[in-house]
């Protein structure tokens, strides 16, 4: 599955990336996404933390044209907030690759849940 995504063209990559909601956004989440964000502590943020996430999301989307994607189950809120500026320093092609790698992590964990 990962290889098929890697071999897809940039349009397919961008379509996949843009299908993801913003972290701490206003979209209605699937049960899996809500659970994953909660495991990272994103459901218990202060007003200031919510503001920070929304500002980082906006800055990221403005630069790259797709939402910031990170495997929330493998991170906590502080690690995610630290990842924003590091990832914003990357070029667009590198960041597309990074975001696709994060999607692969999410997919692997969700598949493991289904299988086990």
Active site residues: 20
| Residue 47: burial class (beta carbons within 10 Å; 0-12, 13-18, 19+) | exposed
79-114 burial, b at 16+ Cβ within 10 Å, e below that, comes to: ebbebbeebeeeeeeebbebbbebbebbeeeeeeee
Tokens linked to 94: 């590198």
Tokens linked to 106: 């999410």
Give the span between the Cα atoms of 100 and 13, in whole angstroms.
8
């Amino acid at each position: 599955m990962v290889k098929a995504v890697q071999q897809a063209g940039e349009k397919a990559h961008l379509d996949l990336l843009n299908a993801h909601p913003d972290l701490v956004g206003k979209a209605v989440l699937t049960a899996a996404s809500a659970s994953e964000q909660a495991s990272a502590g994103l459901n218990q943020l202060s007003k200031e933390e919510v503001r920070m996430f929304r500002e980082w999301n906006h800055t990221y989307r403005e630069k790259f044209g797709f939402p910031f994607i990170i495997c929330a189950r493998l991170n906590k809120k502080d690690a995610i907030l630290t990842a924003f500026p590091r990832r914003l320093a990357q070029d667009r092609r590198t960041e597309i690759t990074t975001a696709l790698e994060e999607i692969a992590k999410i997919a692997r964990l969700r598949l493991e849940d289904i299988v086990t």
